[in-house]
A and B are shown apart, each in its own frame.
Chain A
Amino acid sequence: MSEATADAGSGESTLGNTDGRLLIAGGVVGAFALLFVVGTLFPDSTVGTLSYLLLQPGPWSSMLTLAVPITLAAVGGIFAEKSGVINIGLEGLLIISAFTAIFAADTTGSLWVGFGAAILASVLLALVFAVVCIEFRADQIIAGLAIWLIALGFAPFAARIVYGSPNTVSLTNSVPAVRHAGIPVVSPVFQTLSTTNALGPAQALFRASPSVYLMFGVVALGWYLLNRTNFGMWVRASGENPKALDTSGVNVHRVRYAAVLLSGVFAGMGGAALSYNIGQFTGSGQTMVNGKGFIAIVAYLFGNYNPVGAMLSTFLFTLLEAIQNPLQTAGIGVPSDLIGTLPYIGVIVVLALVGRTRIPEAAGDHYETGEDR
């Protein structure tokens, strides 16, 4: 009986959410269409400048680059939350891996080692979070905040010890864009396509650094894992109905551990991509991560736990950020401090319109296996 009522309730709210999402997606498409029409009619107006800018590959390129850490963290967050553990500490995982990537790459001189070390650091911190939540039944929200605060304190602390300031040194070597990487066949093709003006904004797709393609890969992998494999089914069951999963002989705790550690892996990639992109870790104030982990949470909520949806909603936020610099250069006079708040306000508006997402039934709850009592 309670099953039936719960289902009715969730059906209703899913419908409401779809409306909210469609509204926003439709609104975005409509706004773009209007923008281009008005922009073409009045090329000298502000709108004209804006639509001209959006037809260049530049903003789209930065949109892709900025989206990498957020999307990767979001895909990780999807796994954790789908399994029943709300990982609000994604921000902390990004911070710790962004620092570790630079530190390890700087010490060993190898970007690959830095990348691996970043993932390891993020997974270790995720493990702490998992043990605290799964083993010791901590409140997931408070434990997640603690993970964030620990990383927020530790990364600048470590940077001060090693480099004498909250910021690290700049790496001397950087990750080349694929078109400059000298890979046979691929690089020349990308180079040609990235300068083919006929492609318009789509040139951005071929100008990106490898991390952008990693993001596409992880999104595809995440979607496949979640929807087409046994593991994905266990993860979803662990979040929706852990008792049934337990009854069918799968260890719920083990699934949840795997899911949280996986969120550590993906967030670790994201953190490394973030700091490699700049070549440095900056640890003053909110650090260079600056809320990206929290935007990731909003992105997957808005994307309804679908990795592809999470990536698309991330694009929405990062395009707002990416358009800032070109707007400044074009002399459209809105102060940068205020434009900088746009993604954050965007998040709030999205949350207000979408409202409640139907989160997994057992997310946030501790699950006790039968044998323990």
Chain B
Amino acid sequence: MSSEAGSDGSKPDRSGTEWGDRARAGLARLVEASAFERALISLAALVLSIAIGALVILAAGRTATCETAATTYFGYGFCYDPFRVYDRLFLGALGNPINPLFDPLHGNFAAPFTEGWTPFNDRLAYTLTETTVLVLTGLSVAVAFKAGIFNIGTQGQMVIGGLASTLVMLALVPVFTGLATVALLPIGIVVGAVFGGLYGAIPGALKAYADANEVITTIMLNFVASSVALYLVREQFKDPDSFSTKTNDLPAGVEFPQLLYAQNTAFSVVALLFVLALVAATYYLLRHTSFGYDLRTSGLQAAAAEYGGVNSARTIVASMTISGALAGIGGTVYVLMYYGYFQPPVPSYGFDGITVAILAGNNPVGVVPAAFLFGVLKSGAISIQTDPNVTIPIQLVGVLRGLIILFVAMPEFFRLVGKRFTDAGRRSREGGSRVADAVRSDGGVAGGETDE
């Protein structure tokens, strides 16, 4: 039954590879879970990752050599203390708001907040700078995932967008002199969006019209983007006055205005507000426009959407273009906030964006807290580095990132655990998953072996 819908529609109608279809079925399953359940699963995944991360820290602490043990458990000394590592990681990223003397468990009721702590400290500024870029890359991935497309290429789209906007802005500097310099900023953002969007449209078109699997093409395009960027900056547009491989500096006026936070920090509240406005716009686009409806139904039920008159090829290309455009803006914002010039390689915001989007359940609004969490992890990694008492390598954050994705990918695990605790909960959830299965088999997913 189900395969008929796919086969008589012949090739061009089938949106993408069979891999894609199966992936979409998986995504559909993820989306079926209610927003509350999703949030719960994300939270549980986070807690579990932190717990396993603690074991990794302890194990690493046994392997490493140090003069004095940082902590002792069960008679064994460990070089790294997970509590201290996580303390630095999470509280360090906020600028140490908690007074170390505040310890209600041991009867010390000092003031809970560190004296002189304000939310405008430099550490938190860095956290929020990271968050600003991560919201954009997370949003980029989430839009594509919503349409059922695994855009792993946000990193490459970000590189291309950031480089293109930098080069165009630099080229236009002689034209926009004096007060007109201000105009370069919006131009740069538009150029970043256009180039990122075009670079995203390539795998979109390959998927829509040549059935090329987007997971592979986007990963390959990431490698191409970083090599091309390195070549262009090194051989064609290198700053002649600098030893490092970077472009010329943008003029002083081309930046997001800085308010509230110190001038020496990279963070700009204006940039964050601009990004949050993009979040709202994306939410509106997905929820309240007919295009957004097409996009979401294609992601949930490609065949059903097709039957309902959605041009799936065009939807794929369009959603990949939007996804790429958001990534391109991310690259531009990164360049403008941090350095004011482009220097390869660009840190892995694109890959972190995947984690952010998966953690957020591909919900544009959920991307904001998820991005903040990763902003905390990245900023906390630096506060670990600067603390002489904690010597753990910051690559730990990469391990945590992988663990979080792994656990978010297996909601079934948490449901099984949940079942053990609540019998009533089991019945209602199982009913729910049955319905989801039924919907899935009607949707023309090839190979209905999982259904009974």
Do B234 and A337 touch across chains, with their CB atoms under 8 A apart? yes
* Residues of the A chain whose Cβ atoms lie less than 8 Å from the Cβ of B449: 241-243, 361-362, 365, 367
Give Cα distance in the complex from A16 to B221, angstroms. Answer: 25
Collect the chain A residues with CB atoms within 8 Å of residue B235's CB.
Answer: 335, 337
- A323 proximal to B (CB < 8 A): no
Of the A-B pairs whose beta carbons lie under 8 Å apart in the complex, a sample of 15, sorted by A's number, is A1-B4, A2-B4, A132-B406, A139-B26, A147-B406, A149-B355, A152-B402, A157-B60, A157-B396, A290-B223, A337-B227, A337-B230, A344-B224, A359-B19, A365-B449
Q: Report whether A347 and B393 are in contact in the complex, using a CB–CB cutoff of 8 Å.
A: no
Closest approach, in angstroms, between the C-beta of B363 and any C-beta of chain A? 16
Q: Is the CB of B405 within 8 A of A347?
A: no
Indicate whether B386 reaches chain A with its CB closer than 8 angstroms.
no
Given A88-B215, A136-B413, A146-B406: A160 touches B395 (CB 8 Å cut-off): yes
A367 to B354, CA, bound (A): 27
Nearest opposing residue in chain B for A13, CB measure = B11
Residue contact B227 to A142, C-beta cutoff 8 Å: no
Q: For chain A, what secondary structure do more than half of its interface residues adopt (helix, strand, loop), or is it mixed?
A: helix
Give the residue name and chain of the A residue nearest to B217 (CB): A348
Rounded to whole angstroms, the CA-CA distance of A67 and B362 in the bound complex is 37
Q: Knowing A153-B395, A161-B64 are in contact, say whether A143-B216 is a contact too (CB < 8 A).
A: no
Per-residue A-contact encoding for B375-403, CB less than 8 Å = 1, 0 else: 00000000000000000110111111111
With A9-B3, A139-B29, A142-B409 as contacts: A341 and B228 at CB distance below 8 Å = yes
Identify the closest chain A residue to B358 (Cβ). Answer: A142
B410 touches A152 (CB 8 A): no
Residue A214 lies at the interface, judged by CB distance under 8 Å to chain B: no
Residue in A closest to B393 when the chains form the complex, CB atoms? A160
In the complex, which of the residues B1, B23, B397 contacts A364, with contact meaning CB atoms closer than 8 Å? B23
Instruction: List the A side residues contacting B399 at CB < 8 Å.
Output: 150, 153-154, 157
Check if A341 sits within 8 Å of B354, measured CB to CB. no
Interface size on A, residues (CB 8 A): 74
Nearest first, the 5 A-B pairs at minimum CB distance are A153-B398, A150-B402, A364-B22, A160-B393, A139-B26
Q: B216 and A156: CB pair below 8 A?
A: no
> B27 touching A139 by the CB < 8 A rule?
yes
Separation in Å of the A150 CB from the closest CB of chain B? 3
B residues in contact with A153, CB < 8 Å: 395-402
Chain A's closest residue to B400 (CB) is A153
Residues 1-39 of A, flagged 1 when their CB comes within 8 A of B and 0 if not, give 110011011000100100000000000000000000000
| B78 CB to nearest A CB, Å | 12
Residues in chain B within 8 A of chain A (CB atoms): 1-4, 6-8, 11, 17-19, 22-23, 25-27, 29-30, 56, 60, 63-64, 150, 152, 206, 210-213, 215-217, 219-221, 223-224, 227-228, 230-231, 234-235, 345, 351, 354-355, 358, 392-393, 395-403, 405-406, 408-410, 412-413, 416, 446-447, 449-450, 452
- Interface-forming stretch among A116-124, A200-208, A219-227, A291-299? A291-299
CB within 8 Å of B: which residues of A?
1-2, 5-6, 8-9, 13, 16, 86, 88, 128, 132, 136-143, 145-154, 156-158, 160-162, 166, 241-243, 285-286, 290-291, 294, 297-298, 301, 335, 337-338, 340-341, 344-345, 347-348, 351-353, 355-359, 361-368, 373
Contacting pair A136 B4 (CB below 8 A)? no
- Whether the pair A347, B216 counts as a contact (CB closer than 8 A) is yes
Contacts of A338 in B (CB 8 A): 227-228, 231
User: Do B7 and A5 have beta carbons less than 8 Å apart?
Assistant: yes
The residues of B that contact A140 with a CB separation of less than 8 Å are: 22, 26
A252 closest partner in B (C-beta): B449
Pairwise interchain contact A150-B150, C-beta atoms closer than 8 A: no
Measured CA separation A13–B224 after assembly (Å): 30
Nearest-neighbour CB distance to chain B for A156, whole angstroms, equals 5
